[in-house]
Amino acid sequence: MAAAATCGTGTRSTGSVVVAASRNNVTSFQRRGPRASGTDSGCSRLVSIAGTRPSVRNGQLLVSTGLPALDQLLGGGLAVGTVLLIEEDKYNIYSPLLFKYFLAEGIVTGHTLLVASAKEDPADILQELPAPLLDDNCKKECDEDICNHKTESNIKMKIAWRYQLLPKMEQARPVSSSRFGHYYDVSKRIPQELIEASKWHGFFLPEKISSTLNVEPCSLNHGYIKLLQFIQNIIYEEGFDGSNPQKKQKNILRIGIQNLGSPLWGDDICWTENCDSSHSLTKFLYMLRGLLRTSLSACIITVPTHLIQNKAIIARVTNLSDTVVGLESFIGSEKETNPLYKDYHGLIHIRQIPQLNNLIYDVSDVKDLAFKLKRKLFTIEWVQDNYLRQERNIYPPGFSYLLKQKDSAWGEGSLQHSTFLMSFLAKATAFASRLVRHSEPLEQTGSGRIRQAAGPRLWHDGPRQEAPGLLVIPP
């Protein structure tokens, strides 16, 4: 009975999304490549959707988030069928930017948009999207950015800059560029004709909530139920889940939900710790995940996690989302006066990246990232965090707890200190740990990544930006 039902649903879905000739149960995660399924041309059909590209790692279909730098940090882009959760910064200044980049990218590549908000009318949100940069202007922007950067971020900008060499965007008519990842000018608004040429659906909560509820009560919030039904309607009617076999080209649905979990959605997790409907948001995210996994869509959600009182809910929300990016702005915090951060507006943390169809995932080595919003561009760069990190560039990974102990045990110029350092450089960590009184390993301050092992020519090439901390007494 129940077992047969499960098998039944399995066979029903093989007709959806891509070709039925494939043996695998088909969702949007069709593996690309000649060996995935021998006969069919369904794989090539997926690749031909504008604004998408397959991941180099596992053939997963990716869409751009609108920021090429963020795409790289997420391993090439956002996978179709997944949720990108943005943890809002404290005063909600920068997270709407990422939200708008995502939607603007959808308009430029011709995807269908679904914008949901409880605060602003979706039509107004669309009016405020940044304008796409045309090629000659863009090149000038990137040129002036490149000369101010350090080596590491120079590499990033160079890679991103190469996108400019691809075929140019058309100017005159509505743009559906085949390029992956575009640049936007935040100081200008998107041209009206682009918005009108695009297809979008808006969900503004105060308008929708007045109608009666015709679904039996469950522990989900009324607003969330309405939103789920709206999304499911659009997906079903426009065939993003393959239910209506379309004659025309397959397209991606980009869903954007703003300020989810805030009191405007009727949820009380932001103002009390023991809330009645503590499962509303998590149930909503689970249902949303179910909808996304069976359709050609990608979703961005911004959640004010700094307002959520119950830390357990934050952990659950993170577990139920696929990609999680946290923004931490410096406004009003002590970091604002830190000279290290004087060029930046905040830190960006990539908290989670999904492992889809894979045992491992693409984690970028760079963990200390900061962003800044210039007049026209939002850029993400690597920043050195502290003295400890500079030293850690040379030491093998996983031993920085010894460094913390070392700092408290000896003075800077002492014999033990230099012996300790020398033995680390020689990678003879046994000697080094013998010098340290062993107790419980202390907590890590940063992320413990290693950039480059100390080789014989480490200081040969002139002053290195990475390791001055060793040779200079910190103030």
Partner 1 sequence: MFPELNNLLNTTPDQAEQGKLTLLCDAKTDGSFLVHHFLSFYLKANCKVCFVALIQSFSHYNIVGQKLGVSLTTARECGQLVFLEGLKSAVDIFFRPQEDPHPLQFLREANSGNLQPLYEFVQEALKPMDSGEAAWRCPVLLVDDLSVLLSLGVGAVAVLDFVHYCRATVCREQKGNVVALVHDSGDAEDEENDILLNGLGHQSHLILRAEGLATGFCKDVHGQLRILWRRPSQPTAQRDRSLTYQYKIQDKNVSFFAKGMSPAVL
> How near is the Cβ of 36 to partner 1 at its closest, in Å?
9
In this chain, which of 163, 230, 387, 401 binds partner 1, going by CB under 8 A?
401
> How near is the Cβ of 397 to partner 1 at its closest, in Å?
4
Backbone angle region of 134, left / alpha / beta, with phi > 0 → left and psi within -120 to 50 → alpha = beta
**315 interacts with partner 1 by CB under 8 A:** yes
**136 interacts with partner 1 by CB under 8 A:** no
**159 interacts with partner 1 by CB under 8 A:** no
> How near is the Cβ of 45 to partner 1 at its closest, in Å?
17
Cβ closest to partner 1, residue 282 vs residue 384: 282
In this chain, which of 41, 151, 192, 219 binds partner 1, going by CB under 8 A?
219
- The token duo for 31 is 């593996």
In this chain, which of 254, 293, 345, 406 binds partner 1, going by CB under 8 A?
293
> How near is the Cβ of 57 to partner 1 at its closest, in Å?
9
Cβ closest to partner 1, residue 228 vs residue 301: 228
**396 interacts with partner 1 by CB under 8 A:** yes
In this chain, which of 37, 52, 305, 400 binds partner 1, going by CB under 8 A?
400
In this chain, which of 23, 188, 374, 434 binds partner 1, going by CB under 8 A?
23
Owner of token pair 């689970």:
286
Pick the piece of the chain touching partner 1 (CB under 8 A) from 124-132, 155-163, 203-211, 227-235.
Answer: 227-235
Cβ closest to partner 1, residue 47 vs residue 218: 218
Q: How many residues bind partner 1 (CB under 8 A)?
A: 65
**461 interacts with partner 1 by CB under 8 A:** no
| Short-list 276, 277, 255, 218, CA closest to 112 | 255
**408 interacts with partner 1 by CB under 8 A:** no
Cβ closest to partner 1, residue 232 vs residue 419: 232
**33 interacts with partner 1 by CB under 8 A:** no
User: How buried is 319 (Cβ within 10 angstroms: 0-12 exposed, 13-18 middle, 19+ buried)?
Assistant: exposed
Pick the piece of the chain touching partner 1 (CB under 8 A) from 9-17, 171-179, 181-189, 374-382.
Answer: 9-17
In this chain, which of 397, 455, 462, 463 binds partner 1, going by CB under 8 A?
397
- 333 φ, ψ to 5°? -105, 170
Q: For the chain, how far is it from start to end, CA to CA, in angstroms?
A: 73
**HSE toward the beta carbon, residue 261, CA cutoff 13 A:** 29
**HSE toward the beta carbon, residue 24, CA cutoff 13 A:** 17
Give the number of other Cβ atoms within 10 Å of residue 232's Cβ. Answer: 16
**147 interacts with partner 1 by CB under 8 A:** no
In this chain, which of 290, 340, 351, 414 binds partner 1, going by CB under 8 A?
290
Q: Is the dihedral of CA 308, 101, 205, 298 positive or negative?
A: negative
* Angle in degrees, CA 333, 336, 339, rounded to 5: 145
* Angle in degrees, CA 250, 34, 77, rounded to 5: 50
User: What distance lies between CA 214 and its chain's CA centroid?
Assistant: 36
Pick the piece of the chain touching partner 1 (CB under 8 A) from 165-173, 284-292, 297-305, 331-339.
Answer: 284-292
Cβ closest to partner 1, residue 69 vs residue 350: 350
> How near is the Cβ of 43 to partner 1 at its closest, in Å?
14
Cβ closest to partner 1, residue 93 vs residue 388: 388
In this chain, which of 34, 38, 167, 217 binds partner 1, going by CB under 8 A?
217
**294 interacts with partner 1 by CB under 8 A:** yes
- The token duo for 312 is 């357990």
**374 interacts with partner 1 by CB under 8 A:** no
Owner of token pair 């033990």:
416
**398 interacts with partner 1 by CB under 8 A:** yes
User: How buried is 448 (Cβ within 10 angstroms: 0-12 exposed, 13-18 middle, 19+ buried)?
Assistant: middle
Q: Is the dihedral of CA 309, 310, 314, 320 positive or negative?
A: negative
**52 interacts with partner 1 by CB under 8 A:** no
> How near is the Cβ of 325 to partner 1 at its closest, in Å?
16
Residues near partner 1 (CB under 8 A) are 1-3, 6-7, 9-10, 13, 23-27, 29, 31, 58, 216-219, 228-229, 232, 279, 282-283, 286-287, 289-291, 293-294, 311-312, 314-316, 319-320, 355-360, 363, 365, 367, 396-401, 427, 429, 441, 443-444, 446-450
